[in-house]
Amino acid sequence: MVLSKLNVGQKAKIVKLNVQNKEIRRHLLDMGLTRGTKIEIRKKAPMGDPIDIKLRDYELCISKSDLSQIEVEVVK
């Protein structure tokens, strides 16, 4: 499952970052998107992209194209 496919309110755990671009990958790691991190989908922009996620007690908006490169496991 990739993060961009999740709906608002769903929670997930990061399995792997498949991000090709080194800079973006680095930035995502710095922002705390490391393996095992718990994530919740909070809101979506009115046009559906970017998507606001909650992790490590703060909120981060990420575009769908980046989220689609993050492999996750849905948790209940």
- At closest approach, how far in Å is the CB of 16 from another protein? 8
Secondary structure of residue 53 in the 3-state scheme: strand
Q: How many residues does the chain have?
A: 76
Beta strand 70-75 with 58-62 is: unpaired
50: contact with another protein by CB under 8 A? yes
Nearest Cα to Cα of residue 8 among 56, 41, 40: 41
Taking the complex as a whole, how short is the minimal distance between the CB of residue 1 and another protein, in angstroms?
A: 19
Give the contact letters, 7-36, x = binds to another protein (CB under 8 A), - = no.
----------x--xx-xxxxxxxxxx-xxx
With CB under 8 A as the rule, give the number of residues binding another protein.
Answer: 37
Q: Are 4 and 68 in contact (CB under 8 A)?
A: yes
Question: What residues line the site for another protein (CB under 8 A)?
Answer: 17, 20-21, 23-32, 34-37, 42-50, 52, 56-63, 65-66
